[in-house]
Chains A and B, each alone.
Chain A
């Protein structure tokens, strides 16, 4: 990524995601959107999938959005954004509209990993100049905490309950970045609300690449009611996700993979904090046994092994 912002003071003072929203206290996704829009600036059109951010930011007679905003439905934000981007292209081509506006999708994990995967893939494959931002709070929180393809292994949700037969989600978290990278788009990256400068630089970098084709950013955004932790701990938990190696920060830039700080030091496992530091703070993992935690650790190690091989091959 290019460095546009070095410190928090470099970020614009303007707020494009304002008050008049109904998110829960300590909402990770709303923090994500605030940073996203600051980095993107005013010349952006947001296409939002159904989800927490949609229902909490558009409640009549209020709106939290000070930039053009379109919500269509759950499964189709990438398709709707493809249409918006195509129309702008035609309007520019015919000299009807002189705009440099960028199109940005903001969608949750349900709208991306699950029901929206087909339209995301279509948009990436056709090469629309759209930045797709996934804010990942790892379940369908808006409808009462149902598991999604983004929910991690062993996490409690209402549809991956903990009891005598089941101990949370049976399956592992879907590797959405690998799916996106397999489309060989110009730019894809992970980001985390606990690292706003990294996030802002990635957003700006991605927007600059849109003339070449699509870009994708996967932002981890913790959810106090869904992950079951006190709301003042959102940023701390988000930071621990990266510090423990659970959610590595890295980017795919024109076929090259690069680990970003602090994850660039984490190929060495001893540099990562123990995974229990991340897990023990969250009620959704309260039922885990020592063996379960070992299993999660093993999965994270496997993922890092996979990442290190990717870095070797595409670094």
Chain B
């Protein structure tokens, strides 16, 4: 980035720390230019205050969190998926946020553009949540020409009838006026921020489903790097004659409950391999499915064989 951005008229700034990084991005977004920052778990923790500010001030910007093993700098060079709930609700207060989870290097590219587009469309920070193992992977990718892939223009908060500009951290109404001392208006303001995400889940959320044509009653559901092992496991199971389907969450948050329910139909069991203490498995359990959680901690990805063996035990 330091080498490439100056060549295309961009600016790369190395911040003194992650508090500075997120607030620099906030400043750039307000001032009229698209901006993003990238970090991993410990830095992501430091950025939480800024993320909450950007939600409240309705600023489009992108944060990339490359997940390593925690808590703290627990396993700073190893991958994990332990930040899935921090990405959702890491900052204080009630809010909803958009979090995307790329499954490979090509998708890292396209979802970065998609994430920025979503942030511009919904005037909110968006988080691209990936893993150490995905970003250190070398894969051939296709980079589209300018104009080939949709890119939305940058949204900057408007000045008040051209008379001035004021943006601060307290709750505001649609006109930008501070409503923090008015319970009714404050509630309305928070609900507006939350519902602009909740009411558009169908438009925001994306799920990839494969091997579903023969209505399998067992699905393996995963996301990010772990989905690659899950996909390999499903192919092995199919090869051996087991009817097992594959589901990958491309959008982690907002969680696409309705989409999953409508597409999966009469599924009995969902197996959820993930590199944390079984967080997303709980979400599938909440949809009423029988869920087998396959949590894996320690820095190694679940192998296709591990997932295969679990699925084989329950598959008809």
A166: interface (CB < 8 Å)? yes
B262: interface (CB < 8 Å)? no
Contacts A159-B2, A159-B12; A114 near B73 (Cβ below 8 A) = no
A80: interface (CB < 8 Å)? no
Contacting residues of chain A (49-93) with chain B, CB-CB under 8 angstroms? 50, 73-75
Contacts A50-B73, A73-B42; A161 near B16 (Cβ below 8 A) = no
Contact A149 B2 (CB under 8 A): no
A176: interface (CB < 8 Å)? no
Which residues in A have their C-beta under 8 angstroms from that of B7? Answer: 164-165
Which residues in B have their C-beta under 8 angstroms from that of A115? Answer: 16-17
Number of interface residues of B (CB under 8 A): 12
Taking the nearest CB of chain B, how far is it from the CB of A50, in angstroms?
A: 7
Q: Which residue of B lies closest to A146 (CB)?
A: B14
Which residues in A have their C-beta under 8 angstroms from that of B14? Answer: 146-147, 159
Taking the nearest CB of chain A, how far is it from the CB of B120, in angstroms?
A: 27
Contact A117 B42 (CB under 8 A): no
Q: Which residue of B lies closest to A162 (CB)?
A: B3
B interface SS class = loop
Which residues in B have their C-beta under 8 angstroms from that of A75? Answer: 17, 46
Taking the nearest CB of chain A, how far is it from the CB of B46, in angstroms?
A: 8
Q: Which residue of A lies closest to B77 (CB)?
A: A55
Contacting residues of chain B (61-93) with chain A, CB-CB under 8 angstroms? 72-73
The total of interchain contacts (Cβ-Cβ below 8 angstroms) comes to 30
Which residues in A have their C-beta under 8 angstroms from that of B42? Answer: 73-74
- Interface size class for chain A? 10 to 19
How far apart are the CA atoms of A169 and B73 in the complex, in Å?
29
Chain A proximity mask over B128-141: 1 for CB below 8 Å, otherwise 0? 00000000000000
A interface SS class = loop
Which residues in A have their C-beta under 8 angstroms from that of B73? Answer: 50, 73
Q: Which residue of A lies closest to B72 (CB)?
A: A73
How far apart are the CA atoms of A74 and B72 in the complex, in Å?
11
Which residues in A have their C-beta under 8 angstroms from that of B3? Answer: 161, 163
Contact A114 B2 (CB under 8 A): no
A160: interface (CB < 8 Å)? yes
How far apart are the CA atoms of A165 and B6 in the complex, in Å?
7
How far apart are the CA atoms of A242 and B73 in the complex, in Å?
36
Chain A proximity mask over B38-55: 1 for CB below 8 Å, otherwise 0? 000010001000000000
Contacting residues of chain B (244-297) with chain A, CB-CB under 8 angstroms? none
Contact B17 A161 (CB under 8 A): no
Q: Which residue of B lies closest to A50 (CB)?
A: B73
How far apart are the CA atoms of A73 and B41 in the complex, in Å?
12
Which of B3, B14, B42, B72 has the largest number of chain A CB atoms within 10 A? Answer: B14
A158: interface (CB < 8 Å)? yes
Taking the nearest CB of chain B, how far is it from the CB of A224, in angstroms?
A: 22
Residues of chain A having any CB pair with chain B under 8 Å: 50, 73-75, 113-115, 117, 146-147, 149, 158-161, 163-166
A-B contact pairs, 12 of them (CB 8 A): A50-B73, A73-B42, A74-B42, A113-B16, A114-B16, A115-B17, A117-B16, A159-B2, A161-B2, A161-B3, A165-B6, A165-B7
Q: Pick the 6 closest A-B CB pairs, nearest first.
A: A115-B17, A114-B16, A159-B2, A165-B6, A161-B3, A159-B14
Residues of chain B having any CB pair with chain A under 8 Å: 2-3, 6-7, 12, 14, 16-17, 42, 46, 72-73
Query: A73-B72, A73-B73, A159-B14 given. 14 additional CB < 8 A pairs?
Result: A73-B42, A114-B16, A114-B17, A115-B16, A115-B17, A147-B14, A149-B16, A158-B2, A159-B2, A161-B3, A163-B6, A165-B6, A165-B7, A166-B6
